[in-house]
Structure 1
């Protein structure tokens, strides 16, 4: 009788241990924690992505950090203060790596392209921009070059012969019939200059324009035509050396192109035109 009682006690103990062990067992797949840096409307998009069902299914715990200075985003990434960022064009990315060879960052994939526009509160017609007008453009190398190319395509200036990926500066202006004065400023300050009496027009990237409630298709005097010549302006999702081959980080690209997330983006930020292509397509 005692043997049976001992046997039952041992069985109960084994069952209790098994139940407790199962209760406190760690999940087989823990969420990968990623701090992602961004800015403007891209920050809002990635906060939506971070809170999405798709992110939970991918086992990604994403914290989105907003930056106001474009140049500090890649520095923070190279230092692993953040582990990914999503804000920059392919041209910005390649230029950063050329000038920071010891702290390179690495593109994971493409996200979108959106047209840059020329805006003015002083005139409603491109043809009415007067001789000697001041036009403001962003001062980082990629945005400055892109802004100059926009002014050339609008017929306001002419630039030296260049390829799609060449970065240009005001020194590369070869003809300037209207004697346009170029003023370079921090990209996030460009909408404020629409109210500056000394500035006739402002080139604004669409991310910054959307934050200022500007619609590039309705409010700009002129905007980029989206074609093969603007492929360097496709935005990329980027990580650092430490995580460049990490499968969880490559999921960020898949998340961005998730069909439900794309529906939300198109509804709320229609200027962001999805680009889901190989990175090699941007290098051609």
Structure 2
């Protein structure tokens, strides 16, 4: 009888061990199947919605989001694997990051949208009305400074030097026929600055938060064309993961019709969908 009890106890312990090992493997597998998307601001809100959507479930994708508000830190976290994919940056920001971090390069997965930068004014109704000597407020961070100057060039107000890039600034202005003055500001305060400065460049996210709509309230804004392709936002991952099939599905998921309808309604059509191959951005 005693031997029988010992055999029973041994059998139960053995089966319990198998069950625990199996559960451990299962839990690990579930963790590995979850894609962590790092983001910030409105992009974070979009991916929180996508993570819960039926469209994600249909593609068999388990998504969780992680907020990191500093762009460089978010890219580093992606490169090091703390984040699988990130959704926040433009193509030009991505290229500049890769140049500065050759040992921790990222790879683009696909395009998402263009969020137009706009020129706003309470004083003038058109860029043609801007007189000589006018002060224009532009962002004091490198990525948005260069983007703003490119927009002013597109509007016919200035000419930039050859080789102007994402890290360029007002020192790289070739011609300024109207003798415009530039005031660098924290771009998160730009809607308030409209009361003090006659012309202000405002990013779309900040404009929306300030009650402004870039497509109707700006006197000039970016369009989706070759001149703005460097400002198209992308999904990015660590270079070693660029061929990950599930990560690539995220691009398809973002451009799903129902997901796009949600984004258009929530952000009033200001996140303009750009569904193009990466070659569109890569070709210079």
CA distance in 2, matches of 1:133, 1:65: 42
1:242 CA drift (Å): 4.9
1:240-265 deviation line (CA, Å, top 9, x unaligned) = 24533322211211210112111211
Give me the whole-angstrom Cα distance separating, in 2, the residues matched to 1:227 and 1:96. Answer: 23
1:163-242 paired onto structure 2 within 5 Å: 168-195=168-195, 197=196, 199-242=197-240
Please say if residues 42 and 207 of structure 1, whose CA atoms lie closer than 8 Å, have aligned partners that are also in contact: no
**More displaced 10-residue stretch of structure 1: 31-40 or 50-59:** 31-40
Change (3 A) 1:39 1:204: farther
CA distance in 1, matches of 2:68, 2:134: 31
- CA displacement, residues 38-75 of structure 1 (integer Å, 9 cap, x when unaligned): 23322221111111112223333322234443343323
Q: CA deviation at 1:82?
A: 2.3
Q: Which residue of 2 aligns with 1:53?
A: 54
Structure 2 Cα separation of the partners of residues 75 and 133 of structure 1: 40
Q: What is the DSSP-based 3-state SS (H/G/I as helix, E as strand, rest coil) of the residue aligned with 1:101?
A: coil
Where structure 1 has 5 or more consecutive residues not aligned to the other structure, the ranges are: 1-16
Residues in 2 aligned to 1:68 and 1:121: alpha-carbon distance in whole angstroms: 31
Q: How does 1:60-99 map to 2 (within 5 A)?
A: 60-99=61-100
Counting only pairs closer than 5 Å after superposition, residues 1-284 of structure 1 correspond to structure 2 as 30=30, 32-161=33-162, 168-195=168-195, 197=196, 199-269=197-267, 270-284=269-283
CA distance in 2, matches of 1:242, 1:254: 20
Tell me by how many angstroms 1:148 deviates: 0.3
Aligned partners of 1:106 and 1:247: how far apart in 2? 14
2:185, 2:72 → 1: CA distance?
13
CA contact (8 A) 1:109 1:253 kept: yes
| 3-state DSSP of counterpart to 1:231 | helix
CA distance in 1 between counterparts of 2:82 and 2:137 reads 32
- Report if the CA contact (8 A) 1:257-1:276 is conserved: yes
SS in 1 for 2:279: helix
Q: Cα offset for 1:142?
A: 3.3
Aligned residues: 260
Measured at CA, do residues 97 and 226 of structure 1 come closer, stay the same or move farther in structure 2, by a change above 3 Å? same
**Unpaired runs of 5+ in structure 2?**
1-14
| SS of match in other structure, 1:64 | strand
SS of the aligned residue for 1:92 comes to helix
Q: Are residues 30 and 70 of structure 1, via their aligned partners in 2, closer, same or farther at CA, if it must alter by over 3 Å?
A: closer
Query: How far, CA to CA, are the matches of 1:135 and 1:145 in structure 2?
Result: 14
Give 1:122 shift: 4.6
Q: 2:116 aligns to what SS in structure 1? A: coil
Q: CA contact under 8 A between 2:93 and 2:166: conserved in structure 1?
A: no
User: Cα offset for 1:212?
Assistant: 2.9
